[in-house]
Amino acid sequence: MTAAAEFAELADRYRPELLAHCYRMLGSLHESEDLVQETYLRAWRYYDRFEGRSSVRLWLYKIATTTCLNALKTRARRPLPSGLGAPSDDAGVALAGPEPDIPWLQPAPDSLLHASTADPAAIVSGRSGVRLAFVAALQQLSARQRAVLILRDVLGWHAKEVAEMLDTSVAAVNSALQRARGQLAQAGPVSDELAEPAEPELRSLLDRYASAFEHSDVAALATLLRADVELEMPPIPTWFTGRDVVCAFLDRVVLPVPDHWRMTPTRANGAPAVAVYQRAADGLFRAYGVQVFSLIGGQIARINAFLDPGLVTAFGLPEVFTAPSAARR
């Protein structure tokens, strides 16, 4: 077996979980894919020096974490609009213009974050570790605190192993973890409250949501939303809270006429989502963005609507909508 083949056999199985690790660190799907590629290039470059004193998995995580920490030295944190200011309770407010210069948090498809692996040790702690609220809260931490908390609390590495990855002491790891936990508690992610209905009910909810959008039926949409629902739409910094306000905004700005939107279900960050297509001047429905939902009690508690057409194809979906509309499904 050649060295290249041997390296591929040992290392390739860890690529999906390393992508999820880099995504938690960076909050960017595109940057995470680049950093995983850089991790593997570095690992291959130094493979002849790997002496087997630690596991291949730990060795790769050490390289990936170091690569992420170096990248974060020159990158700003990636927020959601709710991390930058208070919501609006006025559906008629003039929207702030898009802020393309802010490096917004991006969603990531489950097909990448939860790709299968043959190594049982690679299985991370469920969907909560990549929920948008959790990843957004991680961005509030310093890069090193972020790394320690992810490695210890999400991935379950021992303090001694984390100290080895970060070239520091166990005491320093424990101290950073305590501070990180305290700051994360103040950020208040609500992932523990989230619960999805069974698959048939979930599919029905998404179909009804898509149908309401396609028909501009705000009354039908309102029945799917919690009274305290939140709506945010990066790169637009304005965001809204409250069912009446959200519905009034959608009625005024997003759904003034029927047959303007199409949606297809997907999953992102361990949560239900839809890819959104908008009718273009040529009559075709073209990629518009991705909406990710948080559900509580069988209703939608938060809509994270990412207005980025490039995300649709990044989720492995076509740029032009080809499926039947929700009304015909």
Amino acid, res. 63:
I
**CA of residue 262 relative to chain centroid, distance:** 22
264, 190 Cβ separation under 8 angstroms? no
Q: How far apart are CA 210 and CA 204, in angstroms?
A: 10
Q: pLDDT by residue (tens digit) across 83-124?
A: 999 999 889 998 888 888 899 999 999 988 776 444 444 434
Q: pLDDT by residue (tens digit) across 36-52?
A: 999 999 999 888 777 66
Residue 97's pLDDT is what? 84
Class of the CATH domain delimited by 80-104+126-131+189-329: alpha beta
Residue listed under structure tokens 């040992």: 10
Residue 274 token pair: 């839809």
The count of residues in the chain is: 329
Residue 195's pLDDT is what? 61
Domain ranges in the chain? 80-104+126-131+189-329
Residue 190's pLDDT is what? 46
Q: What is the mean pLDDT of the chain?
A: 89
Burial class (CB within 10 angstroms; exposed 0-12, middle 13-18, buried 19+) of 281: exposed
Q: How far apart are CA 186 and CA 189, in angstroms?
A: 9
For residue 52, give the 3-state DSSP assignment: coil
Residues of the chain with pLDDT under 70: 51-53, 115-128, 188-196, 324-329
Residue 194's pLDDT is what? 55
The one-character DSSP state at 93 is S
Q: How far apart are CA 143 and CA 129, in angstroms?
A: 17
Residue 11's pLDDT is what? 87
pTM comes to 0.89
The C-alpha angle with vertex 218 and arms to 216 and 219, in degrees rounded to 5, equals: 130
Residue 118's pLDDT is what? 43
323, 263 Cβ separation under 8 angstroms? no
Residue 10's pLDDT is what? 81
The C-alpha angle with vertex 152 and arms to 149 and 6, in degrees rounded to 5, equals: 115
Residue 297 token pair: 């009690």
Residue 5's pLDDT is what? 80
